[in-house]
Chain A
Amino acid sequence: LAKTTQPISMDSYEGQEVNITCSHNNIATNDYITWYQQFPSQGPRFIIQGYKTKVTNEVASLFIPADRKSSTLSLPRVSLSDTAVYYCLVGGRMDSSYKLIFGSGTRLLVRP
Chain B
Amino acid sequence: GAVVSQHPSRVICKSGTSVKIECRSLDFQATTMFWYRQFPKQSLMLMATSNEGSKATYEQGVEKDKFLINHASLTLSTLTVTSAHPEDSSFYICSARDRRSGVNYGYTFGSGTRLTVV
Contacts and interface: CB of A to CB of B under 8 A. Distances in A.
Contacts of B6: 43
A16 interface: no
A43 B104 contact: no
Chain A interface, DSSP helix/strand/loop, else mixed: loop
A13 interface: no
A43 B105 contact: no
Contacts of A93: 105
A80 interface: no
Nearest to B102: A93
Interface string B32-46: 101010000001111
B34 A100 contact: yes
A93 B43 CA distance: 22
Contacts, number: 59
A83 interface: no
Contact of B109 (A41, A45, A97, A99): A45
Interface in B59-118: 91, 93-95, 97, 99, 103-105, 107-112, 114
A99 B34 contact: yes
* Residue of A43, A44, A98, A105 with most partner-chain B CB within 10 A: A43
A25 B105 CA distance: 21
B25 interface: no
A41 B44 contact: no
30 contacts: A32-B105, A34-B104, A41-B91, A41-B114, A42-B112, A43-B4, A43-B93, A43-B94, A43-B95, A43-B109, A43-B111, A44-B44, A44-B109, A45-B109, A46-B103, A49-B103, A49-B104, A49-B105, A87-B43, A87-B44, A97-B49, A97-B51, A99-B34, A100-B34, A100-B46, A101-B46, A102-B43, A102-B44, A102-B45, A104-B43
